[in-house]
Structure 1
Amino acid sequence: MIDSHVHFWNFDPIRDNWVTEEMGMIRNDFMPKDILKTYSEVGITGCVAVQANQSETETEFLLDLAKHHSIIKGIVGWTDLKADNLAERLNHWKQFPLIKGWRHVLQAEQDDFILDDKFAKGVKTLNEFGYSYDLLCYHTQLNAINKLVDKLPNQLLVLDHCGKPDVKTQDLKAWDENIKALAQNPNVYCKISGLLTEADWYNWTETEIFNCFDVIFKHFGTNRIMYGSDWPVVLVSRPYTHWFNLVKKYVSQFTDDKKMKVFSGNAKRFYNI
């Protein structure tokens, strides 16, 4: 089984200022050695390490970790997608086959950044080099994300954390409509991850999470959904195993073949693992 979304970092309070004081439990270092015991307990045999910092130094950091930890089967790095020398940089990174795709933290940007033609051109360039792109956004940005995706008909894309719906209020109507529109592009996949962070960390209910799963599975089906933990961020709410078992319980309604697509096959195909 593959965990399609994990982060590793040596915590820096200035660089990692998005990790607020109330997220104190993750204001620490998190390295591959810290997750191996849990992976062994639940049967995870590989993971995709996703950038958490907006720098090429981050990409180099993840590559160095992968040299020493075979559990890392793929990397989603960061490079400046609006750079004039983007093709040159991607050509450089092609020497490292563990790099499978790229991500920019769009949730921290305004719509004008998402809709910038230069940014769309940058994402299009990824396709020329055989790379995928991870879409990270809040549900309030999905209108702009859909417009961006319309410009990228041939690009392999995956929506991180289900597009961060408003799990707390359960106001899911507009999110549902945007997810439906997004899923109509067959090149867009979705990670079921990150929902506990969008919920009331200490008082969420299984029903609230499953209501969100219902929407994602209705529109994407089991062929384009991949399991991810968003560890260590998930720890602000619950231990890793709680999230894993929640997903496992939901997918128990499907055949073994469909379950394994969600927990393994789709991530392997998408990230060419």
Structure 2
Amino acid sequence: MNRIDSHQHFWIFDPVRDSWIDNSMKKIQRDFLPQDLSPLLSQNQFSGCVAVQASQSEEETNFLLDLASKNDFIKGVVGWIDLRAENISERLRHFSQFEKLKGFRHVVQGEPDDFMFGNEFRNGIAALKQFDFTYDILIFHRQLPAAIDLVKSFPEQKFVIDHIAKPDIKSGEIASWKKGIKEIAKFENVKCKISGMVTEADWNNWKPSDLKPYLDVIFENFTADKLMFGSDWPVCNVASDYTNLVKTVEDYLAPFSDEDQNKFWFENAKSFYKIHD
């Protein structure tokens, strides 16, 4: 079975730029590059991955595209661009020359909760469609109402939710997040990544049973037709190693049909990001 890891990161660690990687995350205060990921993908039957931006600059986008040009297993890049810029169409036209650049992301979780209602941001989202770029929604669960309004306002735009919208798994809070997930999953233009869950749980003490209620909600609402796997490597290393993370999801999916498992591990990411073998 072919597999694609739809969400991981690379960086050359810079303590100033990467100040979000604080001392509680000492395990990932170092460089993470393709040669570090490649053996992990092979060991877990992944044929490729999608590299996602971790810092907010066009330099980051160019850095990831450079790595992708030198490593065949990097099948796609989700970069960063200033969606609020007046010359957004011009910048998108520039980046449209790179076949491996599939879409963009902004770290909205670090913005005010009304950020996605901003006219400049929405102007940028509107510009993506012309170039067939996707958009990754990175939010905390409290920002789901704004995300619902966004996906409703752009029915032709392809969206994917990162990290199941970051519910508070550590505390076990589920009700308000579940309400938002039920609503946003109704939109045909929205997919979701099963990623980033272990870092929302208790890093040192989480168990698969802590994740199960959240996985149940996600699969019940999105179904295997609209879900894809993402490791969130190397961020996941603060709470789990790569292989253990994969095994946790494999065990959850064991009762699913081979067809549904193939969609989840491979086909959905391939079609969403238009990945060529």
Please give the range of the TM-score, normalised by the shorter of the 2 chains: over 0.9
Q: Tell me the SS of whatever aligns to 2:218.
A: helix
* Gap runs ≥5 in structure 1: none
Once the 2 structures are TM-superposed, how far is the Cα of residue 147 of structure 1 from its aligned partner? 1.6
Structure 2 equivalent of residue 159 of structure 1: 161
Distance 2:190 2:166 in 1: 16
Q: Tell me the SS of whatever aligns to 1:75.
A: strand
Once the 2 structures are TM-superposed, how far is the Cα of residue 67 of structure 1 from its aligned partner? 1.6
CA contact (8 A) 2:78 2:101 kept: yes
Once the 2 structures are TM-superposed, how far is the Cα of residue 272 of structure 1 from its aligned partner? 0.2
Structure 2 equivalent of residue 124 of structure 1: 126
Structure 2 equivalent of residue 90 of structure 1: 92
CA contact (8 A) 1:120 1:151 kept: no
Distance 2:225 2:150 in 1: 23
Distance 2:10 2:154 in 1: 30
Structure 2 equivalent of residue 259 of structure 1: 261
Paired residue for 1:224, among 226, 237, 240?
226
Distance 1:82 1:203 in 2: 40
After superposition, what is the alpha-carbon deviation per residue over 1:209-249, rounded to whole angstroms, capped at 9, x for unaligned? 11110010010000000000000000001110111001111
Distance 1:113 1:38 in 2: 36
User: How much identity, in percent, do the aligned residues show?
Assistant: 48
Provide the aligned C-alpha RMSD in A: 0.7
Once the 2 structures are TM-superposed, how far is the Cα of residue 206 of structure 1 from its aligned partner? 1.2
Kindly provide the amino acid, as one letter, of the partner of residue 14 in structure 1: V
Structure 2 equivalent of residue 11 of structure 1: 13
Paired residue for 2:28, among 17, 26, 29?
26
Q: Tell me the SS of whatever aligns to 1:171.
A: coil
* Gap runs ≥5 in structure 2: none
Once the 2 structures are TM-superposed, how far is the Cα of residue 140 of structure 1 from its aligned partner? 1.2
Distance 2:79 2:30 in 1: 21
Q: Tell me the SS of whatever aligns to 1:179.
A: helix
Once the 2 structures are TM-superposed, how far is the Cα of residue 105 of structure 1 from its aligned partner? 0.3
After superposition, what is the alpha-carbon deviation per residue over 1:77-114, rounded to whole angstroms, capped at 9, x for unaligned? 00000111000000000110100000000000002322
Distance 2:97 2:41 in 1: 29
Structure 2 equivalent of residue 54 of structure 1: 56
Structure 2 equivalent of residue 63 of structure 1: 65
Distance 2:121 2:152 in 1: 13
Deviates more, 1:117-126 or 1:180-189: 117-126
Kindly provide the amino acid, as one letter, of the partner of residue 95 in structure 1: Q
CA contact (8 A) 2:151 2:189 kept: no
Distance 2:213 2:115 in 1: 31
Distance 1:85 1:4 in 2: 29
CA contact (8 A) 2:225 2:268 kept: yes
Distance 1:187 1:149 in 2: 7
Distance 2:123 2:53 in 1: 21
Distance 1:81 1:139 in 2: 22
Structure 2 equivalent of residue 104 of structure 1: 106
Kindly provide the amino acid, as one letter, of the partner of residue 84 in structure 1: E
Kindly provide the amino acid, as one letter, of the partner of residue 148 in structure 1: L
Q: Tell me the SS of whatever aligns to 1:226.
A: strand
CA contact (8 A) 1:51 1:58 kept: yes
Give the aligned length. 273
Kindly provide the amino acid, as one letter, of the partner of residue 257 in structure 2: T
CA contact (8 A) 2:41 2:47 kept: yes
Distance 2:155 2:68 in 1: 32
After superposition, what is the alpha-carbon deviation per residue over 1:32-79, rounded to whole angstroms, capped at 9, x for unaligned? 100111111110110000000100000000011112111100000000
Q: Tell me the SS of whatever aligns to 2:198.
A: helix
Paired residue for 1:115, among 117, 120, 124?
117
Distance 1:15 1:122 in 2: 24
Structure 2 equivalent of residue 172 of structure 1: 174
Give the TM-score, by structure 2 length.
Answer: 0.97
Distance 1:22 1:118 in 2: 35
Give the TM-score, by structure 1 length.
Answer: 0.99
After superposition, residues 190-229 of structure 1 pair within 5 angstroms as 190-229=192-231
Once the 2 structures are TM-superposed, how far is the Cα of residue 149 of structure 1 from its aligned partner? 1.8
